[in-house]
Structure 1
């Protein structure tokens, strides 16, 4: 079988991780890159002398003719870039979030349907322990009927926001199009909540946020979102990227009629706490990019279902979109459900 031809948008942290794992897997070859940093362009040209490398995505896409596009670039560009990829006949792996507006999510769903190609959204925390382990336990019914869930993204990102920081990422703090960390980080815990609730619609949300941490982020870096589900369950998403030494927080927890899942433990009223076991494939409190790449290529090869599909991406985006409308209005806002 011929190898898939992959174009990588944004070969930085996440993009490089996907690149490395695609090469290690062996089913895809890296044929093109979209990059703006001169030093990184030189590195790519040295390592991949036959690849198409440039700053203009449309030109690189047209010249390279890939069948896979991996979008790990700035969040606000995911929508238009991936619509163009689908229209060019490419399957798409999108580093979360899928999009940053309901309108872009709708365009992506329409382009995916028309093209017959697939979108996978890289919700890599699904592969993590203990959070992904708790997610699966809740999904499997281990705590009975769920009445409350919470997702967290508590991550000290000062070094990413500081222009002189070790991990400084200029696009995140761009004054015109900064990263919204609710979409870009809060999506992790929210994804776990939505996966567990298995299609039960979120009716409405209320959100409060602020930028009081003193970080270099030009918009809010702290959010608290409350959600009401169609079946009466409630949920919460807490996000802070301006916090001191936060390391993802608790990420996920769930409360049900027969038990509670917190901190990697299953708690029941009539039994001692049970420490959930990590399976052989899960990563410990980190990104499972190797498993994302494996599953993405398996989907393309017809070996498995797409469990991080565009519907999950659109729902996640829509809830974050409604949350931002709530901050602006100061009111509860309805959610467009996909």
Structure 2
């Protein structure tokens, strides 16, 4: 064990700066960010200067060979999650990899196996798990307040929220659009609250109706001429325990609200909407709604980074585990496969 966690950053873009580096810095003497790697040298140098990082590289392989690190944040486009994570684990580092785990189920499986072999932590950037709403509802669920959760709905829908920056609309680098980018957040949240049941049957549809034409961009102007991902994905997952989950995700859809991120759960003893948290039950022959009078306010990313550091320094396990990443990746890939073939995928 070490008293100060020596951290390296792979990928020096927006998510590294806004979600990882800012929050590592808040932990003061417990963390030292000592190296950053990005294939774009200018980006790496700018990041190093901004955050006072002493070692700068254009190759994460070189960074891992040249600097002694305890942990790494992987903040690259999705295509590079698996190779960067595998290299970091092989170098003896704990890894916090941004979502989604990888591009394929096989990659996610290799990542989980490598972490187990190395005896290192591998966790993923599903920061909604660290929200006070999810933490509170999990206590209710663990106490049996919802009973058997047999149905769930997930929404990650934007009216015109196609990112006008980065590589979010590049299928080769990302593997897909809203499903693999924002949909996975609500999917993971639902699965976590449901106890991560094993999927049995997956049916999915994807659409590309808005992203390939010029339009109003609430998150900046996107490159509609090179838009290669879906702008909407819909799906249904049937689990081996009999539960069912419905998923809707979209970067752009003709709906009323500009941005909806929501998970709804239905159990035989109660149900809940998560954001904001509201619980629905029947007690003493009365239908009741429960809303928290107070929930602590803390940035989800800040809590995620704080917990990752705690786990690395103490040797405890994170709440987002590598084997759960395999299950989630399996579902995402099955949804895309089903959409492509027009057939349900049996797992």
Deviation at 1:42, TM superposition (A): 3.8
Distance in 2 of aligned mates of 1:118 and 1:201: 22
Distance in 1 of aligned mates of 2:206 and 2:51: 44
The Cα offsets for residues 62-94 of structure 1, whole Å up to 9 and x where unpaired, read as 222322110111012111110111011110001
Deviation at 1:317, TM superposition (A): 0.7
Is there any run of 5+ residues in structure 1 with no aligned partner, and where?
A: 163-167
Q: Does 1:308 align with 2:320?
A: yes
State the match for 1:7 in structure 2. Answer: 8
Distance in 2 of aligned mates of 1:131 and 1:155: 21
Contact 2:12 2:44 in 1 (8 A): no
- Secondary structure of residue in 1 paired with 2:260: coil
State the match for 1:152 in structure 2. Answer: 155
Distance 1:36 1:293, change over 3 A: same
**Aligned ranges for residues 208-227 of structure 1 at < 5 Å?**
208-214=205-211, 216=224, 217-227=227-237
Deviation at 1:271, TM superposition (A): 3.0
Distance in 2 of aligned mates of 1:147 and 1:332: 20
Contact 1:150 1:189 in 2 (8 A): no
- Secondary structure of residue in 1 paired with 2:73: strand
**Aligned ranges for residues 1-338 of structure 1 at < 5 Å?**
1-16=2-17, 17-26=19-28, 27-37=30-40, 39-47=42-50, 51-128=54-131, 130=133, 133-134=136-137, 136-155=139-158, 158=161, 160=163, 162=164, 168-169=165-166, 171-174=167-170, 176-180=172-176, 181-214=178-211, 216=224, 217-243=227-253, 248-262=259-273, 264-269=277-282, 270-280=286-296, 282-283=298-299, 288-302=300-314, 304-335=316-347
State the match for 1:165 in structure 2. Answer: none
- Secondary structure of residue in 2 paired with 1:220: coil
Distance 1:151 1:175, change over 3 A: closer
Deviation at 1:179, TM superposition (A): 4.8
Contact 1:34 1:57 in 2 (8 A): yes
Distance 1:22 1:223, change over 3 A: same
Distance 1:157 1:36, change over 3 A: farther
The Cα offsets for residues 196-245 of structure 1, whole Å up to 9 and x where unpaired, read as 22243111110011011235331212111101111211111111012368
Distance 1:278 1:87, change over 3 A: farther
Structure 1 residues 320-329 or 179-188, which shifts more? Answer: 179-188
- Secondary structure of residue in 1 paired with 2:69: coil
Distance 1:240 1:295, change over 3 A: same
Distance 1:33 1:298, change over 3 A: same
Deviation at 1:29, TM superposition (A): 0.9
Structure 1 residues 131-140 or 215-224, which shifts more? Answer: 131-140
Contact 1:206 1:227 in 2 (8 A): yes
State the match for 2:219 in structure 1. Answer: none
Contact 2:338 2:345 in 1 (8 A): yes
Distance 1:190 1:12, change over 3 A: same
Distance 1:43 1:321, change over 3 A: same
Deviation at 1:248, TM superposition (A): 4.5
